[in-house]
Amino acid sequence: MSDSDAENDENPEVPPDDVLDELFATIESRKAELPEGSYTASLFTHEKGENAVLEKIGEESTETILAAKDDDLDELTYESADLVYHLLVLFAMKDLDLDDLREELRDRF
């Protein structure tokens, strides 16, 4: 995590329902400001371009599947969080946002 996490540090008690919005807002901020030392910013400036995050999504998907096959629920939760984080970075890269995801899911009800 980089030094410019002040917004999260000032709000350590983010309600669980808001955590995805808070995370996505932080990712958008990293995309706009590209602070030094930020892993998220490094994904937006990577020499491999979008392949860097696409590869991570592939890796995290595999790790999620392996955790599920092992019935390791802690690991499944941890790897799923990695996967969701990288998916959100991809959304930001493609100028999509959480409302696009919510709308798609809502349309399936």
DSSP string, 71-89: T-HHHHHHHHHHHHHHHHH
Binding interface with ligand PRT (CB under 6 A): 1-2, 5, 8, 26, 30, 38-40, 63, 82, 85
Note whether 29 and 21 are within 8 A (CB).
no
Read off the amino acid at residue 36.
E
CA–CA distance, 89 with 84 (Å, rounded to integer): 9
What is the closest distance, in whole angstroms, from the C-beta atom of residue 107 to ligand PRT in the complex?
A: 27
| Smaller CB separation from ligand PRT, 71 or 106 | 71
What is the closest distance, in whole angstroms, from the C-beta atom of residue 43 to ligand PRT in the complex?
A: 8
What is the closest distance, in whole angstroms, from the C-beta atom of residue 13 to ligand PRT in the complex?
A: 15
| Smaller CB separation from ligand PRT, 30 or 76 | 30
| Smaller CB separation from ligand PRT, 78 or 108 | 78
Other CB atoms within a 10 A radius of the CB of residue 13 amount to 4
